[in-house]
Structure 1
Amino acid sequence: MTHAPRRPVVGIIGNMGLMNQEYPVHASGTLNSEAVAGVAGCLPLIIPTDPRFVGVAELLELCDGFLLTGGRPNVHPSEYGEEETPAHGCFDRCRDAITLPLVRACVERGQPFLGICRGFQEVNVAMGGTLYPEIRDLPGRMNHRMPPDGTLEEKFALRHTVRFTKGGVFHRLMGAEEVMTNTLHGQGINRPGPRIVIDGEAPDGTPEAIYVKDAPGFTLSVQWHPEWNAAGDPVSRPLFTAFGQAVAEWAGTRRGMPARHLRQA
């Protein structure tokens, strides 16, 4: 019997929630699995992000890369030295306990991750940066939150441009200096971490695309949601394709195959 080649494994960071308003679950949007399997070409594995169940060291060994997903709860402000206020919204301290050290470990090891929305913010916090509790309350900023009404197609519709640094990582990856994206977030980067490179911004100056300077692996992260229409969107597809290539290369090094590192800068 012949066996199909083993796909590289991407750990998809799950979120805590309630099914039917009463049954606790760890879950992730189907769109995340679809993007990982269909575009990145990897095996999606949803991670229950709670230190009672999993540890960072064993996740690093189990998975070849990680998708840091979006989620309604925000990173707790104590993680970047600020006091909790009502504007900071709700939290998931168990996810904080897993993802923040996981990001730092991946950066050190060169293990690939792709950050999305909350995941984008986690990367900044993990690397020593801070967040604004509510972007729309800042002078001159637009409302980046999900529209309260409409279909999913309307909520995930392309709403503003993102301009990348000319000649930068995202410009080279996308083949365009400016693209259109959706926007479904309340918080955003205030002070970037010392190694965080802001490589793309919305028209109001909100950081939208980052990577970690001098990291040996793939660390691209975006504030928008590229998992929506990942196979068909001209911005989402190259992002997930490049991520999948980086994960496959990491998996190859584990099996003794030569690695080809994606240059980020």
Structure 2
Amino acid sequence: MHRPVVGIIGNSYLINDQYPAHAGGTMNSEAVAEVSGCLPMLIPSDPRLVGVAELLEVCDGFLLTGGRPNVHPEEYGEPETPAHGAFDRGRDAVALPLVRACVERGQPFMGVCRGFQEVNVAMGGTLHPEIRELPGRMNHRMPPDGSLEEKFALRHKVRFSEGGPFHRLLGAAEVMTNTLHGQGVKTPGARIVIDGWAPDDTPEALYVRDAPGFTLSVQWHPEWNAAHDPVSRPLFAAFGAAVKEFARARRGGARALSA
């Protein structure tokens, strides 16, 4: 039996400001392969090339990654401003309906950073374009200088709801995480449950209420050092277990129909 397939939502980039490419961070693929125990497959973020229905059939689960482009504010009914930054409308067109379809089908996904925000927007929520400009909020953005180790270093605590899914999974009511984001959740979407907060009350962990599949998503970047970090490893392990269970159930049903 081959490993279950996790589709990793990529981002559109221009290499050397000229060559268009679909890209995904190596650490995302490493976390999926080495910790989740699944086969990572990079998905082009372009609706001209891929369709949601076929992605749902080819992949068993999805990792909605981080990325420099932000979800376009038109997706949650607000006008574009300079504070909203760069966009990837192709990714919006793939990821947002994909999230809604996965929720309906019980197909596992995990959102990370931009992916966390995509889950909220897909379910009808809104975003702050620049949370560091809000009164009493921290600067959650990636440090502009330093090594990758310094940029992905643990920088603040996240507290979870007592007895909530993150508390139960991680065995702690409070953990340390990195932080590399500029936008944040403003209004939670329908069925979105905020289950973790930074010290300044910025939402950091969520899930979809009553969804039949895995929907745990985080604002930080657990793919960094995922094999060894005590917070990242159980997250990716639990995601992998959910993907494997979904794949087993789907293939078992297919065998039954062909018998």
Once residues 178 and 169 of structure 2 are traced to their aligned partners in structure 1, the CA distance between those partners, rounded to angstroms, is 18
Residues matched between the structures, number = 253
Identity across the alignment (%): 80
Once residues 254 and 214 of structure 1 are traced to their aligned partners in structure 2, the CA distance between those partners, rounded to angstroms, is 20
Give the match for residue 251 of structure 1.
247
Give the match for residue 166 of structure 2.
170
Once residues 89 and 44 of structure 1 are traced to their aligned partners in structure 2, the CA distance between those partners, rounded to angstroms, is 29
Deviations 1:80-120 (A, max 9, x none): 00000000001000000000000000000000000000000
Give the match for residue 105 of structure 1.
101
Give the match for residue 18 of structure 1.
14
Once residues 256 and 73 of structure 1 are traced to their aligned partners in structure 2, the CA distance between those partners, rounded to angstroms, is 39
- Cα deviation, residue 20, structure 1: 2.5
CA RMSD, 1 decimal = 0.6
Deviations 1:138-173 (A, max 9, x none): 000000000001000000000000000000000000
Once residues 160 and 175 of structure 2 are traced to their aligned partners in structure 1, the CA distance between those partners, rounded to angstroms, is 8
Task: Give the gaps of 5 or more residues in structure 2.
Answer: 254-259
Once residues 85 and 48 of structure 1 are traced to their aligned partners in structure 2, the CA distance between those partners, rounded to angstroms, is 27
What amino acid is the match of 2:152? F
- Cα deviation, residue 184, structure 1: 0.1
TM-score, normalised on structure 2? 0.97
Deviations 1:197-248 (A, max 9, x none): 0000000000000000000000000000000000000000000000000000
TM-score, normalised on structure 1? 0.95
What amino acid is the match of 1:7? R
Give the match for residue 205 of structure 1.
201
Other structure's SS at 2:187 match: coil
Give the match for residue 178 of structure 2.
182
Deviations 1:51-105 (A, max 9, x none): 1100000000000000000000000000000000000001000000000000000
Once residues 17 and 237 of structure 2 are traced to their aligned partners in structure 1, the CA distance between those partners, rounded to angstroms, is 36
Higher helix share: 2
The equivalent position to 1:125 in structure 2, one of 115, 121, 125, is: 121
The equivalent position to 1:29 in structure 2, one of 25, 33, 46, is: 25
The equivalent position to 1:238 in structure 2, one of 234, 239, 246, is: 234
What amino acid is the match of 1:156? F
Task: Give the gaps of 5 or more residues in structure 1.
Answer: 258-265
- Cα deviation, residue 19, structure 1: 1.8
Once residues 145 and 87 of structure 2 are traced to their aligned partners in structure 1, the CA distance between those partners, rounded to angstroms, is 24
Once residues 148 and 168 of structure 2 are traced to their aligned partners in structure 1, the CA distance between those partners, rounded to angstroms, is 30
Once residues 51 and 151 of structure 1 are traced to their aligned partners in structure 2, the CA distance between those partners, rounded to angstroms, is 35
The equivalent position to 1:84 in structure 2, one of 80, 86, 91, is: 80
Other structure's SS at 1:190 match: strand
Give the match for residue 213 of structure 2.
217
